[in-house]
Amino acid sequence: MSSMDLDAFKAKATAFLDGVSTRRSVEDGPFVWGQGSDNVAIVEETDEESEAEMVGKAKGWAAAGYDAGFGWINGPVEFGGEGLPNEYATAYRALEQKYEVPDLSIFMINLGMVGPTVAVHARPEVKADVLPKLYRGDWVSCQLFSEPTAGSDLAAVSAKAVRDGDEWVVTGQKVWTSNAHLADVGEILCRTDPDAPKHAGITGFLVDMKAPGVEVRPLRQMTGGAAFNEVFFDEVRIPDTWRLGRSTRMGRCDDDPDE
């Protein structure tokens, strides 16, 4: 779609949206204090069956949009994007809001955190493999940062990754991991150099959430739902190719993608 002008793009987007959805009958008006729902939940709390239905609908919507060229409008073509300027992506989002769209919140971490990090810090072959899966919604991702003793003080991370040949071996615990129970892949921060100053001894990786040694335990909230999890890693192996950016001294290698 790289040579299409904005009006032609909007017409194509409108035709696509007309084909897969219906226009919302009442558009949201301006926000007015005291009016509307009292629901302030950040994360929906639902039962397993409804959650599975929600995930199915979200994945279907994301795949249809991606296949029609509206999944990663402003992303680089070589990694599965459409290569269009940001204003095209903004125009599509504005159009999409006029239609009935499933709950897409499971992709918030794909699109807002893991995707952008991979796009900057992963090796080119990993970008080409992983980014289309994240932006098409084939994979759900989670972020594995917080630990029982590393919250606001994220630099206190203690889950460790130890280099073993072409792999890293991860052991430790994460907590408050939104969507871990649905995730195919996670972005994890691990301590790779216990001797470095604490802010400097940490390395990021992608991790296969279905790998042997990964255990996801739901945290039941007093409100009934279980959107957050504890995640335990017991000698989980990650290929070095899934490292994000440079590693710290202990595992540093010559093919660091940022160098």
Ligand X SMILES: Cc1cc2nc3c(=O)[nH]c(=O)nc-3n(C[C@H](O)[C@H](O)[C@H](O)COP(=O)(O)OP(=O)(O)OC[C@H]3O[C@@H](n4cnc5c(N)ncnc54)[C@H](O)[C@@H]3O)c2cc1C
Number of residues that bind ligand X (CB under 6 A): 13
- Determine the longest span between alpha carbons in the chain, in angstroms: 60
Cβ proximity to ligand X, 178 vs 247, nearer residue: 178
> What's the distance, Cα to Cα, between the start and end of the chain in Å?
32
* Per-residue x/- track, 74-113, ligand X (CB under 6 A): ----------------------------------------
Half-sphere exposure (Cβ direction) of 47: Cα atoms closer than 13 Å: 2
Nearest to 184 by CA among 148, 228, 226, 130: 130
Amino acid at position 44, single letter: E
Which residues from 160-199 bind ligand X, rule CB under 6 A? 176-178
Tokens standing for residue 139: 């994979």
Which residues from 125-144 bind ligand X, rule CB under 6 A? 142-144
* Per-residue x/- track, 1-40, ligand X (CB under 6 A): ----------------------------------------
H-type helices in 137-180, by residue range?
Answer: none
Query: Applying CB under 6 A, which part among 28-36, 149-157, 194-202, 239-247 lies near ligand X?
Result: 149-157
CB of 231 to ligand X, least distance (A): 9
Interacting residues of 259 by C-beta distance below 8 A, sequence separation 6+:
246
**Torsion sign over Cα 169, 156, 194, 203:** positive
CB of 145 to ligand X, least distance (A): 3
Q: Which residue is nearest to ligand X, using beta carbons?
A: 151
Half-sphere exposure (Cβ direction) of 133: Cα atoms closer than 13 Å: 13
CB of 14 to ligand X, least distance (A): 35
Is residue 42 part of the contact set for ligand X (CB under 6 A)? yes
Ramachandran assignment for 140, one of left (phi > 0), alpha (psi -120 to 50 degrees), beta (any other): beta
Cβ proximity to ligand X, 35 vs 152, nearer residue: 152
CB of 174 to ligand X, least distance (A): 6
Cβ proximity to ligand X, 26 vs 222, nearer residue: 222
CB 228 within 8 Å of CB 178: yes
Cβ proximity to ligand X, 25 vs 152, nearer residue: 152
Taking the C-alpha atoms of residue 181 and residue 70, their distance in angstroms, rounded to an integer, is: 27
CB of 153 to ligand X, least distance (A): 6
CB of 179 to ligand X, least distance (A): 7
Tokens standing for residue 170: 């991860």
Taking the C-alpha atoms of residue 24 and residue 99, their distance in angstroms, rounded to an integer, is: 5
Q: Which of 88, 92, 135, 145 binds ligand X (CB under 6 A)?
A: 145
Strand partners for 144: 188
Q: Binding residues for ligand X, per CB under 6 A?
A: 42-43, 142-146, 151-153, 176-178
